[in-house]
Amino acid sequence: MERAVWKKELDESITSLSKLSKYIYIPKSDIKKIEQVIARHPMKITRYYLSLMNPDKIDDPIRKMAVASEEELHLLGSYDTSGEKENTMMQGLQHKYEKTALILATVKCANYCRYCFRKRMVGLSSDEVLKKFSEAVNYIKAHKEINNVLISGGDPLTLPTNIIKHFLEKISTIPHIDFIRIGTKIPAVLPHRITKDNELITVLRSSASKFKRVYITTHFNHPREITSESKKAIDLLKNALVTVSNQSVLLKGVNDNPETIADLNTKLIKIGVIPYYLFQCRPVKRVKKHFQVPLYRGYEIVEKAKSMLDGYSKRFRYVMSHKTGKIEILGIMDGYIYLKYHQAKNPENQGKLFRRRINKEDGWLDDLSH
């Protein structure tokens, strides 16, 4: 049986600096340090995503998201900024928010994002990945407050289509589950996974029409990631009755200006993708120093971008995914930042409004003072 087109593309991904240097400029003085980084946190770039980079610009935003950097040697931050360990009910199953169960289905991605908040595991150990799917299903069945399941990773769409089908069919048998979510960056980094696999589209359409609706959350961070190929992938998903939304991360040197955020969300709406979240970059070890934008500046960027957008395009919420919940950044005034729990681990905090003193360099809730 001939190997699927998308799997061949995945096999041809760039994983070494020696191969990468044939396509883009890498200063010789950086090579040794970058190799140190790759030894700790693997690099993987699809040839499609490589084609989106400017090969001569070191500060190219697409490059910054995918190419390992010596800045990753800085150890500020934590590997578990959202409290995932304490929300793990069994290997590969998290239950942080009352109505949502989260399945870690794989450690693999088509591309390894350098700013990944699961940097501790992606491309590395499968110790946190679901091993006993039937036990996870039993847990969800026993917790009738759960009305949706988020399949995450890694990137679930790197799994074989028959595995995805199995997940969707089994989860759909749970009466109190209303819909199933899949988080993926595939449309931005390997659109052929969708456009060259009719079976996947059939599986998704079948789930939506016979079982439970599927909601896919994409991960576009920059308008240059939205191409004719990624648009084809989105069109196929929507034709398969999938609702598609997008979550982005505010990243220094990538999209940390109002024009880029506005352009991104305008283009998302244009291809039929709903803007959902803009995440504050988490203080992840080997990420925080060179990717996190201070909250004060982030708020200014978001408000200016929203002033440039129509109502549909500015529906996204600017949030921190903190260990206590998803906290929306509402405003800054007179030295205070005003916040609201959009989702809370503790149900008593749901919808809670609060404020903290803010300094211009603060980047996370834990940096703020009462």
- Report in angstroms the alpha-carbon separations of 254 from 33, 63, 124, 191, 290: 22, 9, 25, 21, 11
Count of domains forming the chain = 1
pLDDT for 1 beyond 90: no
**How many C-beta neighbours within 10 Å does residue 227 have?**
17
pTM of the model: 0.96
For residue range 210-242, what is the model confidence (pLDDT) as tens digits? 889 999 999 999 999 999 999 999 999 999 999
Q: What does the mean pLDDT of the chain come to?
A: 97
Taking alpha carbons only, the member of 82, 185, 103, 216 closest to residue 152 is 103
**Angstrom distance (rounded) from CA 224 to CA 281:** 20
For residue range 246-292, what is the model confidence (pLDDT) as tens digits? 999 999 999 999 999 999 999 999 999 999 999 999 999 999 999 99
CATH of the domain at 115: 3.20.20.70
Parent domain of 322: 5-367
* CB-count exposure of residue 320 (10 Å: 0-12, 13-18, 19+): buried
Q: Are 230 and 236 in contact (CB under 8 A)?
A: no
**Angstrom distance (rounded) from CA 303 to CA 330:** 10
Task: Specify the 3-state DSSP secondary structure of 101.
Answer: strand
Task: Specify the 3-state DSSP secondary structure of 369.
Answer: strand
Q: What percent of the chain stands above pLDDT 70?
A: 99
pLDDT computed for residue 2 by the predictor: 52
